[in-house]
Amino acid sequence: MGNKVRAWSITTEAVAAERERTGGKTADVDVSKVIQLDDLELRDVGPSDVRMRILAVSAEHNIDHAATADTVNIAEMRGGRIYPGNSAVGEVIETGANVTRFKPGDVVITHCNGEPDHYGFPLRIWAYDQPESIGWYAEEAVVGDWQLIPAPLESGLNLWEIAALPLRAPTAYHMWRRALGIYRIKVPRERRSHLNVLGFGGGVSELFLMLAKSEGHNAFFCSGSPERREALEKMGITGIDQRQFNRFAAREDVSAFRKHVSSLTGGDDMHLVCDMLRGPVFPAGLAVAAREGVNISAGWQLSQVVEYNSTIMSVKQVTIDHTHYETVQGCEAATELYGSVFRPTIHKEIYPFEELGRAFAEMHENTQTGIPIIRVADQMPDSVKTLAP
C-alpha cells in the first residue's frame, strides 16, 4: 500500500456532536471542532497517477457546507467520513508508467472537476460528492494526471496567490463567459459596448470583476470588507460598502441600495450581476439589474431554494443563470490569466497546516480580510522558494 500521511477529515460523528452542542444553529457552529487532523493511507500509484507533496492550499466554502450540513450531510452520504480539499499547489514526487505530461520536481495545481459529463462539465466535485474521492488538505496525495495543470510560476504571482486560484479562477472564468454570452444574445455589442458589472462579497466575485475590468467594462464590488474594497479599488474597480445598507436586512435597505446604484450608473443600473442567488444579496442584486440584464451565480451557499418574482424579471427580460464549475479545458484556459488578469486578495495571515481548522472557523465567522491560505509544506522546493514570502 501507499504512504501514510496526515490529512484533515470530517465525520458524521463530529457533525452530529457540533449540531447537538449548538442546538442545530448553523451560525453557531465551530468548524474547527468538526474538521479534524487524521491519518490517511494513500493508495498505490497507478499507471496514470501522480503522487504529489502538497505545498499550499486555499480554504474553500464547501468545507463550511460539509461541517454544518446546511444543505446536505455530505459526510453521511459519503459513508460517514470525507477527506476534503478541492484546491491545492503541489510538487510531483512520483509518476505512473503512463504519465508523460509531468515528472518529479514539477510544481502543479489541481482542479476539482470530479466527473465530467458529455460536454466536459462536472457531474460531481472531487473531494466532495464524487464517490471515493480523497482531497488535498493533506501532506501528500495521489491523483490522476488528468486532475493536474502545470503551475504558472512565471505569472508574477507569489505562491499564496497561486494557491488561492485553482478553484476560484475557473469558476469566475466560466461565470464571466456565460454571463457575457447570455447578455450578448439579447444586446449585441453595437447596441451597447461598455457594461456595468456588479459583484458581491468574496473571491469568485473579485475575479469575475477583474475579468470585466480587463475587457473595458465598469466594475463595482459590493463588500463589507474595507481591505478587499481597497485592494480592488487600486485596480480601478469601484467599491460599495455593503454595511452602508445594513447588509440588505430590510426592504428599505434594498431600496436605498437601488437608489445608490442608479446614481453611480447614471440610471443604467447593472447589466451583469454576480451573486449567490440566495441569501440577503439576492433581492439586492435583482433590484439593481438593468433591463436585459443577467444575474449569475455558482454554488449553493446558504440554501438550495431560490424565490423571486418571475413576472417582474420577465418584464425586465432579466436572465437568472446557475453554474457549477468549469470543464478541464476551461480550467487550463483560466490558468493562463493568472497574474495578467487574476490578482487575488489574500488574507493577512498564512495559516500553518496544523491550524487549518482555525482557518475554516474564521472563514465561517467572516472575519478574514481576503482569501485564506494554508501553508502545508515546511520546506519548499527551490523552484518556489522566492515565491513563498
Judged against a pLDDT cut of 90, whether residue 245 lies above it is answered with: yes
Which of 111, 112, 113, 122 has the alpha carbon at shortest distance from 150? Answer: 111
Gyration radius of the chain's alpha carbons? 21
pLDDT at position 278: 58
SS3 180: helix
pLDDT higher than threshold 70 for residue 299: no
Q: Right CATH number for 4-167+342-387 from 3.20.20.80, 1.20.58.220, 3.30.1490.480, 3.90.180.10?
A: 3.90.180.10
pLDDT band at 101 (very low <50, low <70, confident <90, very high): very high
Tell me the CA distances in angstroms from 7 to 4, 37, 70, 139, one per residue in order: 9, 6, 23, 6
Asked whether the predicted pLDDT for residue 276 surpasses 90, the reply is: no
Residue 57 CB coordination number (10 Å): 32
- Residue 282: per-residue pLDDT: 85
Mean pLDDT, rounded, for 330-342? 97
Side-chain half-sphere CA neighbours of 229 within 13 A: 15
Classify strands 270-275 and 289-298 as parallel, antiparallel or unpaired.
parallel
Please tell me the class of the 169-323 domain.
alpha beta
Average pLDDT over residues 54-82: 88
Q: What is the mean pLDDT of residues 7-33?
A: 91
Q: Does residue 88 carry a pLDDT above 60?
A: yes
Residue 329 pLDDT exceeds 60 = yes
Lowest model confidence (mean pLDDT) among 267-281, 334-348, 352-366:
267-281
Query: What is the mean predicted confidence (pLDDT) over 192-209?
Result: 93
Name the helix (H) or strand (E) containing 20.
Answer: helix 12-22
Please tell me the predicted confidence (pLDDT) of residue 219: 98
Task: Quote the mean pLDDT of the chain.
Answer: 92
Band (305; pLDDT cuts 50, 70, 90): confident
Residue 364: is its pLDDT beyond 90?
A: no
In the predicted structure, residue 71 carries a pLDDT above the cut 80? no
Arithmetic mean of pLDDT, 75-94: 94
Lowest mean pLDDT among 67-71, 191-195, 268-272, 355-359: 67-71
Our CA dihedral for 218, 303, 355, 57, rounded to 10 degrees, sits at: -50
Summarize the confidence of residues 79-108 as an average pLDDT. 96
How far apart are the C-alpha atoms of 337 and 199, rounded to whole Å? 19
Domain ranges of the chain: 4-167+342-387, 169-323
Which pLDDT band, with edges at 50, 70 and 90, does 44 fall under? Answer: very high
The C-alpha cell that represents 331 in the structure block: 480550467
